[in-house]
Structure formats: structure tokens, C-alpha cells
Structure 1
Amino acid sequence: MTSVLERFLRYVQIDTQSDPNSESFPSTAKQLNLSNQLVVELQELGVTDAHVDEHGYVYATIPSNSEKTDIPVICFCSHVDTSPDVSGAYVKPIVHHNWDGSDIILPDDTNQVLRIGELHDLDQQIGNDIVTASGTTLLGADNKAGVAEIMAAAEYLMANPAVKHGDIKILFTPDEEVGRGTEKVDLIKLGADYGYTVDGEAIGTLEDETFSADGVKITIHGVSTHPGYAIGKLENALKIAADILAALPKGSLSPESTEDKQGFIHPVQMEGIQEKATLSFIIRDFTVSGLHEKEALLKQITDEVLTNYPGSSAEFKVQEQYRNMKEILDQHPQVIEHALNAMKMAGLDPILRSIRGGTDGSRLSFMGLPCPNIFAGEHAFHSRLEWVSVQDMEKAVEVIVNLCKVWERSHFND
């Protein structure tokens, strides 16, 4: 048997960073390097239908070995890509065995230090084995921890036929980090009734609620003229954009000033010239009404700023991104109940909580595959301080296997 750690260390050294500016799908061809390797490994385990489709999705089936019929088909899903925010090339993973709680100084950039009190949940890991990168890249635990855990669980199920289960589907997606992870997934081909993304943080957590999310793009049309003869004429689109940003609430409604169930208005890009400029925002809230309130406020700010520029105008466009998956999951309580039971079987005290973000499961749920998010153990993702605990990854594997058992045992119709 290949340990989950062995798999993880191998996977993180494959650069799979996605690119938000690419128009191809997947956004980077290098993601296929890992996807193709996963298919080879699944086939070596005896998963005969494992393959990569033309869009870079990995599909695979672990066939039922139960005498029961009509057991719901469940799917486990993780994404192969890593965030564009920090380099994912030439990752050098380091295992800090039996960590004693002292500062972990990353050797390739000694300014990068993991300290208790500065990183959430790190204080719970004393005595465990911590995996980090070397200081110049992210680690890739988001989401290669989940990939490794699903693969380790697949190996266990294939090697232990005494563990009864229904059909188990495996789905590895590209481009989750750039918001396109489910764009071309084929749910009919997948053939699952319920799913679980394995892309969560702290051990024992089960996330059944996400932000609802919209994007807003404001296109500003200023009045351009030669700057040497601009008096009383020029209305600089870049300055109008800056005024809109300056008019945003101070100390509230921003990522840096909100927590828990509070939403925000977050500018993510500004570009342009004096004649035309664009501002891009992400709007987040746990309710659709909260989204609409924030969008109305941003529109009001834009309109008020434009009163100072009578020759200028702006287009205000809202694009739906994803919605709170709790709307769907509340209609399928067994999906949550079985996951909580699987965690209890592993000796964990489950924690049901919300995500201040989104997952592939958000979109999959609204596409017809109810899909909460199970912990993978990844922490400080999208940063050079990213880390994961080996023991947490091992528990995630146990929970995945337990879920397969729970769904089989809970089905009583022969």
C-alpha cells in the first residue's frame, strides 16, 4: 500500500498552477501532467474505466461489491490545480516529523516562519508530522491533499473487498482556483447521486454552506482630450475609478474588516487609460438579498461619483458566480448525516460550519449533485506558509472509507 503521505509528496512536485487570464480549457496544459498520472495510478489499482476526457477531467469508478441493489452512487471530488496567487513550480516539500511546537523556519526564505498564535489550528498539531514547502512556493495542499486522500482511499477499497460499498465515483477537476472547475463537467457521464468535495481545512470539519457570489464590472467612459488644453474639458476615467474606490466604506464591507457571516465588496482589478477604465469587484454574502444590497450600494456610489463628471458615464454589469450550497443541501439531509456519522466512526467530533468562499461543490450542488465539503487538512492555502498534517490526511482517508460503508449500510432495500 502506498501511504497518503507518499502520494502527496509526489503530487505536490508536479506544477499544476492554473491561469485566470488563459482562454484555453484547462487554462494550463501542465495540469494534465498530474491528471494523466492519476489515471495511470488508478488503472494500476484495477480501476479499469479511469480516464481523462478532452477537457482535463478525470473520471473513474470503483464498482459496487455489495449484494444490495440501488445503493445511491456517491462521488468524491478534488481539484488538481493550484492557486495563481503564489508560484507552484519547483515545490520542495519538507516533512517536520513529531513537531515540538517551536517556530518552523522555511529554509529557502527564512522570513517565512510558521508560528503558533499566527496560524490558525497550528497549536493543535504538536506531536504530529507537519508538511510545508521550502519558503519560495506554495505547498499545494490545496487541493493535492484531497487528491492524495481520495487516491489512498481508492487503493484501500480496491485492496479490501470485505469492505462493502456501492458504486463509488471519482472526479478530479481542473481550474477550480480560477472559478472554472465545473464548467465542462459531464454529470450524466459521472452518474453520481450525491457527492463530497474533499477540499476543507481543519480536521473534523464538514462545510455545508458557502458564500453566494457575484462579480461586478464597472466600465467608465470619461472625456479625453489633450492634457495641454484640457481645462474644463478633461474627465479622466482613471480618476473617476479612483474616486469610486475611495468612496467605498471604511472599516466595513471589506475582506479585511469582516468575518463569520459578514459579506463584503472587494475590488480585484483596475485597468484603463484616461478615456476608458474598468473596475472589477467580487461581491460576497451568505444570502442573495445580501448580495443585492451590496450591489445596490456599489451602484449608488458609482452614480454619486459620476455627478461630479457630467460628461462621463458608466456601465454597471453584474454576473452571477455561484450560490450558497446550503439551499440545496437542506433538501438532502442524509448527505450531511452520513458524513457526520463517518467522522464519528473515525473518532472525531464533527464540526459543521460555513465557508467564507466557494468550492466546486457549490456549483455541483446547483447542477444537481448535492455536494458538501469534507476536511482535507490543508491550511494557510494560497501562501508560502501553506501546511498540512500527515495525521489529518490519514484521518481524511479513514472518513472517506467510512462514508462508503455508511451509504451501503444505510440502504436496506434488496
Structure 2
Amino acid sequence: MQHIIDRFISYVTIDTESDPKSDTTPSTKKQLVLANLLVKELKAIGMIEVTKDTNGYIMATLPSNLEHEVPTIGFVSHYDTSPDFTGANVKPQITTNYDGGDIILNAERNIVLSPNYFKDLIQYKGQTLITTDGTTLLGADDKAGLTEIITAMEYLIQNPTVKHGKIRVGFTPDEEIGRGADKFDVGKFGAQWAYTMDGSQIGELEYENFNAAGAKITFKGKSVHPGYSKGKMINSMLLANDFINELPKGEIPQETKGYQGFFHVHHLTGSIEETVLELIIRDHNAKKFKKRKDLIHDITKKFNKKFAKQFGEDIVITEIKDQYYNMKEMVEPVMFIVDLAEKAMKDLGIKPLIKPIRGGTDGSRLSYMGLPCPNIFAGGHNFHGKYEYVPIESMQKAIDVIIKIAELTATTDFSVKEITKPKKSKSKKKK
């Protein structure tokens, strides 16, 4: 277990925060510090065909040790961390034999990780938890996935009696800003299917995710001296507020769960003359997803009609861009790849938690690029913030699942299964 801890901490203490404002790949040069370390480690443990391209995409191969052919499978994770919260100067804290009570992250600032608020904590009583010190995120999303994949490959190399086919691993930059799959070379990767190790709690197995779009809505206004503005001033900030109030009440992230979709306002900046509202649109159901986008356009038309005479032109300008789609459409034709992962978990005594992802992963876009790619737990909780934590026992179980999937792939009769890759389909960027 200490080997896992040491590897994980060596990764999270390297700042790899991505930057949505950058137009380079990777979006920050500091991501390459970890990328270079990963390349060295992959070579050191005995992986072959280890490559890092000019955009920071890493790939490597574990050759088959079988005398017969089986499909080539892959495991994927990302090495950037979210810009939602700082990932600089991460100082991990280790709690052994967790007693089920509060964990003091930072006594000076009174930052406490409590099971009274984060109820998932209690299920890890008696285990070893890695947390933050309350000033940064931890980076288990997705450095736990990196740790698990490399450690599983190391185990398979050191234990050649465990039979497996050819395995490809891939590590990507910029997943957190929706670009992780942008320059991923599916053809070069050469796997018939893969799994992202990018889920949360132990047992998660996901092959459904949101359909996603981002909307940028610009409101125009007219600034006039407030003392003389009767019938003249148009305050764009108030227009934006009225627009938000036109959206369905309660259909927001903090009041929805499961398959329920939402609208999420995440940026609002402006002045009297111009205000920009940014929101994301999410729904698992394709028809409902379209209706949500249509609603934004309908509200836009309503405002433009209302102010047509006074303003003289469109007062609201709306841009909506699709970002990614529900991978279910691409995975269902090869559903046995989900069954394989489910069997691996059950064989290890892990209860599979098959549920929709309330978000997206590299796998959702890779599935539409011709690489069916369900998502498996990496063990972490409370991603993108100071309350993030990961149980080491969950990471070990994720390692075991990777190994078990490799074993099952070596012994499954694929002659009766349809393993033709799904047709490629265009998908926009994730945000």
C-alpha cells in the first residue's frame, strides 16, 4: 500500500492545472513536468512503445503474453487538474485507520472534512485516507487514475504468470477544460475498446453521460444619466437577470440528480451597456437536450421581440455550441465491454454501481471517435475543491479491477461477440 501512496503523492505534488483561456496544447507548460515523469516511469517499469507527442499525449504498450490472439484493450486517464481550484503547492495529509469522525484539514483556518456534511466519508471508517491541507485541491481527479494504471501495468510485468493480451495505456492533458480527446490519435492507440479510470467512489461503472452544450448570451444596453433615464436607459445586467428568471425553476445542479438535466449559470459579467452570461446545458435524453437548447433560443426571441422597437436591433445575441454527447449510443452495440468490467468487479467482491455520469469524461468523446470507452471508479471524492479525498483501499481495488479485466480479456471467447468498432461520429468539445 505504501508503494501506491508514494506514487500518488509524487504526482499530486506537481502542479498540472489546465487553463481554459490558453490556445496551446497542453494549455499550460507545467503539465509537461508530470508528463515527462510519467514517460520515465512507464519506461522504468518495462512498458514498450512509450511515446509522448508534441501535444503531450502519452501512449505505451504492454505486450501480450498469450499464444493466441485476443482484442487489444486500453486504459486511459488524464494528468491535468481542474482550474476550478488551485492545484499549486499541494500538501497531502494522510489519515490512517480513519475513526469515522471529523478530519481537521487546517486548524488555523478552521477547515474541517466532516461526515456530517460529506456522508460518503463514513463508509471508509478504518481505512487510510489522503486529503488536502484545506488550501488546494488534491488532484485525485485524475492522478488516482494515473497511479492505478501504472501500478497495474507494473504488477502484470512483474507477474508474468498472470495472462493478458496486448494492453495500451493513454494519458491526456487538458481533460478538465474539455480538450482531453481533441488530439488523441485513436488509430495510433490501436485498441478495440478502452476504459477511462476517472470515476469516483468504489464500484462505479458508467457508460452513460450527459449530452452537453455551452451557451454564451450577450445582452446589449443603453447607458443614460440615471437622473434623466426615464424611458431611455436599458440596463443589460437587469436584462440578464430577467433572462435567468425565465429558466425553469429548480432545474439547476444543486436540485437535480440521476437522469435529471439542468441549466447551470457559471459566469456573469457586465455593465449597463453590455453583459455576458455563460451557462451550460445538460441532459441525458437527446430529445430533452434539444428542448433545452430550443428554450434558450425561444427566450432570446422573446426578448428581441419585446425590445425591437426601443433598441432597433437584436438586444440579445445567443451562441450555443454542443460540447459532447451521451456515450451510451456508442457503447450499447458493444455492451459486452461493460459486462466484462462488471464481472471483474463481482469476481473481486466489489458491488458494481452502474449509474449515469452527471458530467462527461474523455471516454464520452473517444467513444464517438471510434474507441468505445466506459468509465471505471478511481476512488476519489469531492473533486475540484479543498475537501477532496481518496481512500487508498479504493485505489488498490481499482488496480485489482484493471488486472482482472486484463485476465478476463485473455480467457473470454470473443468469437461469439460483435467487436466491430462503432462508426465515428463528430462530437464537440467538453466544458
TM tier relative to shorter chain? over 0.9
Q: CA deviation at 1:109?
A: 5.0
CA contact 1:117–1:123 (8 Å) conserved in 2: no
Q: CA deviation at 1:130?
A: 0.7
Residues 155-208 of structure 1 deviation map (CA, whole Å, 9 limit, x = unaligned): 111111111111101100111111111011111111111010001111111111
Opposite residue 232 of structure 2, the aligned amino acid is K
Partner residue in 2 for 1:152? 151
Aligned counterparts of 2:113 and 2:271: Cα–Cα separation in 1: 42
Alignment of 1:169-208 (within 5 A): 169-208=168-207
Partner residue in 2 for 1:290? 288
Q: Does 1:396 align with 2:394?
A: no
Q: CA deviation at 1:224?
A: 5.0
Partner residue in 1 for 2:136? 137
Residue 317 of structure 1, aligned match among 316, 319, 341: 319
Q: CA deviation at 1:389?
A: 0.4
Q: CA deviation at 1:242?
A: 2.3
Residues 131-161 of structure 1 deviation map (CA, whole Å, 9 limit, x = unaligned): 1011101111111111100010011111111
CA contact 1:214–1:282 (8 Å) conserved in 2: yes
| TM-score calculated relative to the size of structure 2 | 0.91
Opposite residue 13 of structure 1, the aligned amino acid is T
Partner residue in 1 for 2:240? 241
CA contact 1:243–1:305 (8 Å) conserved in 2: no
Q: CA deviation at 1:121?
A: 2.0
- Determine helix, strand or coil for the equivalent of 2:194: strand
Partner residue in 2 for 1:20? 20
Residues 303-345 of structure 1 deviation map (CA, whole Å, 9 limit, x = unaligned): 3344443315222222111111111111111110110111122
Against the structure 1 CA distance between its residues 135 and 109, is the aligned structure 2 distance closer, same or farther, given a 3 Å change threshold? farther
Aligned counterparts of 2:301 and 2:47: Cα–Cα separation in 1: 58
CA contact 1:109–1:135 (8 Å) conserved in 2: no
Q: How much is the aligned-residue C-alpha RMSD, in angstroms?
A: 1.8
Partner residue in 2 for 1:275? 273
Greater mean alpha carbon deviation, residues 359-368 or residues 115-124 = 115-124
- Determine helix, strand or coil for the equivalent of 2:126: coil
Q: CA deviation at 1:230?
A: 4.5
Alignment of 1:364-379 (within 5 A): 364-379=366-381
Opposite residue 267 of structure 2, the aligned amino acid is Q
Opposite residue 10 of structure 2, the aligned amino acid is R
Greater mean alpha carbon deviation, residues 402-411 or residues 302-311 = 302-311
Partner residue in 2 for 1:257? 255
Q: CA deviation at 1:271?
A: 2.8
Greater mean alpha carbon deviation, residues 111-120 or residues 137-146 = 111-120
CA contact 1:108–1:134 (8 Å) conserved in 2: no
Partner residue in 2 for 1:350? 352
Aligned counterparts of 1:63 and 1:36: Cα–Cα separation in 2: 22
Residues 222-250 of structure 1 deviation map (CA, whole Å, 9 limit, x = unaligned): 34556676443332333322221233333
Partner residue in 2 for 1:381? 383
Aligned counterparts of 2:151 and 2:237: Cα–Cα separation in 1: 52
Aligned counterparts of 2:8 and 2:298: Cα–Cα separation in 1: 48
Opposite residue 350 of structure 2, the aligned amino acid is L
Partner residue in 2 for 1:209? 208
Aligned counterparts of 1:12 and 1:187: Cα–Cα separation in 2: 27
Q: 5+ residue gaps in structure 1?
A: none
Opposite residue 104 of structure 1, the aligned amino acid is I
Opposite residue 388 of structure 2, the aligned amino acid is E
CA contact 1:2–1:152 (8 Å) conserved in 2: no
- Determine helix, strand or coil for the equivalent of 2:293: helix
Opposite residue 198 of structure 2, the aligned amino acid is D
CA contact 1:240–1:306 (8 Å) conserved in 2: no
| TM-score calculated relative to the size of structure 1 | 0.95
**Count of paired positions:** 411
CA contact 2:300–2:317 (8 Å) conserved in 1: no
- Determine helix, strand or coil for the equivalent of 2:28: coil
Against the structure 1 CA distance between its residues 412 and 381, is the aligned structure 2 distance closer, same or farther, given a 3 Å change threshold? closer
Greater mean alpha carbon deviation, residues 319-328 or residues 2-11 = 2-11
Against the structure 1 CA distance between its residues 120 and 143, is the aligned structure 2 distance closer, same or farther, given a 3 Å change threshold? farther
Q: Percent identity?
A: 47
Aligned counterparts of 1:193 and 1:177: Cα–Cα separation in 2: 25
- Determine helix, strand or coil for the equivalent of 1:131: strand
Q: Does 1:48 align with 2:48?
A: yes
Aligned counterparts of 1:281 and 1:339: Cα–Cα separation in 2: 35
Partner residue in 2 for 1:409? 411
CA contact 2:223–2:234 (8 Å) conserved in 1: yes
Opposite residue 28 of structure 1, the aligned amino acid is T
